[in-house]
Amino acid sequence: MKILVLNAGSSSLKYQLIDMDTEVAIAKGGCERIGIDGSFLKHKSPKGEVVIEKAMPTHKEAISLVLETLVSKENGVLNSMDEIDAVGHRILHSGESFTSSIILTDETIAVCDSNADLGPLHQKANLTGIAACRELMPTTPMVGVFDTTFHLTMPDYAYRYAIPNEYYEKYKIRRYGFHGSSHRYVSTEARKFLGNDDVKIVTCHLGNGSSMAAVKNGKCVDTSMGLTPLAGVPMGTRCGDIDCAVVEYICDKTGKDVHEVLNILNKKSGVSGLSEVSSDFRDLRKAKNAGNEKARLALDSFTYGVKKYIGSYAAAMGGIDALVFTAGIGENDAVIREEVCTGLEFLGIEIDKEENLIRSDAPVHEITAKGGKVRVLVIPTNEELVIARDTKELVFGK
Ligand code: ADP
């Protein structure tokens, strides 16, 4: 069985074709600059890597090119499109309308559309991709997997903001959280690895966007992102948690309007704003090592933020049995992992510093120090596989 996983952004489209017998991607790639001059497709398969430049005014041309490439003689991995048994789409926001993944129909898509206000840019792009795909593959079953649903098990006192009730009742303003497929994947893998379902895990998804989750016995009980992905730890370019009165203060001082300030908090803040160097942790480390004080501050502010969430989630769950690192920084940056864990010995978190430096291909790499009470694991995330598994289950059963 083969499942195509699609993730449509505003000007991009990422894809993976996954063989569900092996759960391995047989081809993957992405289209960039959709709707802009100079659009191209990057495609990787056992036949090699190719870049195809072609005009893609809309997502329809992009998906069409992906499908053409998947069946092409030179670069393809399929004899015909009929070999694609189903398509799984990533969708940003479920709102409170869905608590798990869904079969995409006119009705369910209309509900997704009604939630678009909760994440206008992403949700609209996701839905544009879905519409184009349905047009091109009208008989292929399709599933939507949300970034938010894993977190919908949070108790009300964790997801409600202490603001007047009417904002929740009328507009559904609350904490939702994101990166749900990633937190779900790594916490599931961790539970399998530990051979125990009854565990308290803190998952750290540290990438361009970073988020934390407290997962107790397989259910998310808290997460760091909020109504939008702006909240939580400081990120590449997002500020993370700040006093919301800062927004009014910047508006008053600079004459900027709320939208401009929010744009700055989303795109010009975080470690990039603090360091004035880069949002990439490799550049920040180089700059810090060369004596750049602002890069030092940015890195310290990031590790301090992550550390504080680990402590608060240990408190939220009444303890912590495992700590999981994932995503670009979590999987690759051994120094950040060490800095995050240093000082958390009082919680029972201790890592083996040498093991931490080893680059491992293992699906789960344990870096716990001998005698460490909390199991510390590095688990490469695989959001596409979560989408493919849900798609398979919803369309063809378990
Ligand atoms: P996203 O999926 O959110 O775009 P990723 O999870 O791929 O992001 O993370 C990308 C980030 O991971 C980069 O911006 C960089 O900061 C960090 N990163 C990637 N590789 C390394 C590395 N080897 N060492 C340190 N940081 C890394």
All structural domains of the chain with their residue ranges: 2-146, 196-383
What's residue 259's pLDDT? 96
Which residues, in sequence order, are CB contacts of 37 under 8 Å at separation 6+? none
Q: Is the CB of 208 under 6 A from ligand 1?
A: yes
Q: Which element (helix H / strand E) includes 383?
A: helix 383-396
Q: Is the CB of 352 under 6 A from ligand 1?
A: no
What's residue 122's pLDDT? 87
Radius of gyration for the chain, computed over Cα atoms and rounded to the nearest angstrom: 21
Domains 2-146 and 196-383 agree in fold: yes
CA 268 to chain centre: 20
What's residue 119's pLDDT? 85
Q: Is the CB of 282 under 6 A from ligand 1?
A: yes
- Cβ atoms 158, 175 nearer than 8 A: yes
> Any idea what DSSP says for residue 151?
G
What's residue 139's pLDDT? 96
Q: Is the CB of 384 under 6 A from ligand 1?
A: no
Cα dist. 249→257, 258, 266 in Å? 11, 10, 17
- Tell me the residue type at 97: S
pTM: 0.95
Cα–ligand 1 centroid distance for 230 (angstroms)? 18
378 strand-pairing partners: 325, 365
Homologous superfamily of the 196-383 domain (CATH) = ATPase, nucleotide binding domain (3.30.420.40)
**For residues 88 and 123, what is the distance between their CA atoms, to the nearest angstrom?**
15
What is the dihedral angle through the alpha carbons of 162, 163, 164, 168, rounded to the nearest 10 degrees? -90
Q: Is the CB of 280 under 6 A from ligand 1?
A: yes
Nearest-atom index, ligand 1, CA of 205 = 6
**For residues 341 and 332, what is the distance between their CA atoms, to the nearest angstrom?**
15
What's residue 333's pLDDT? 98
- Cβ atoms 42, 29 nearer than 8 A: yes
**For residues 65 and 45, what is the distance between their CA atoms, to the nearest angstrom?**
15
- Cβ atoms 136, 63 nearer than 8 A: yes
Number of other CB atoms surrounding residue 276 within 10 Å: 11
Q: Any catalytic annotation for residue 156? A: no
Cα–ligand 1 centroid distance for 304 (angstroms)? 18
Cα–ligand 1 centroid distance for 331 (angstroms)? 8
- Main-chain phi, psi angles of 273, to 5 degrees: -65, -40
Answer positive or negative: Cα dihedral of 327, 329, 331, 337: negative
381 SS3 class: coil
Cα–ligand 1 centroid distance for 179 (angstroms)? 15
Between CA 96 and CA 364, with CA 232 as vertex, the angle to 5 degrees is 90
Q: Which of 19, 37, 147, 333 is catalytic?
A: 147
**For residues 289 and 275, what is the distance between their CA atoms, to the nearest angstrom?**
13
What's residue 128's pLDDT? 93
CATH code matching the domain that covers 2-146, chosen among 3.10.580.10, 3.40.718.10, 3.30.420.40, 3.40.640.10: 3.30.420.40
**For residues 363 and 234, what is the distance between their CA atoms, to the nearest angstrom?**
27
Axis crossing angle, helix 120-136 with helix 59-71, rounded to the nearest 10: 50
Number of other CB atoms surrounding residue 279 within 10 Å: 20
Which residues, in sequence order, are CB contacts of 49 under 8 Å at separation 6+? 42, 43
The pLDDT profile of the chain, 398 residues, written as one tens digit per residue, is: 999 999 998 899 999 999 999 999 999 999 999 999 999 999 999 999 999 999 999 999 999 999 999 999 999 999 999 999 999 999 999 999 999 999 999 999 999 999 999 987 889 999 999 999 999 999 999 999 999 999 999 999 999 999 999 999 999 999 999 999 999 999 999 999 999 999 999 999 999 999 999 999 999 999 999 999 999 999 999 999 999 999 999 999 999 999 999 999 999 999 999 999 999 999 999 999 999 999 999 999 999 999 999 999 999 999 999 999 999 999 999 999 999 999 999 999 999 999 999 999 999 999 999 999 999 999 999 999 999 999 999 999 97
Which residues, in sequence order, are CB contacts of 110 under 8 Å at separation 6+? none
- Cβ atoms 314, 247 nearer than 8 A: no
Structure tokens of 86? Answer: 């189903």
The b/e string for 295-316 (b: 16+ C-beta within 10 A; e otherwise) is: bbebbebbbebbbebbbebbeb
Residue with tokens 């975080």: 270
**For residues 104 and 385, what is the distance between their CA atoms, to the nearest angstrom?**
18
78 SS3 class: coil
305 SS3 class: helix
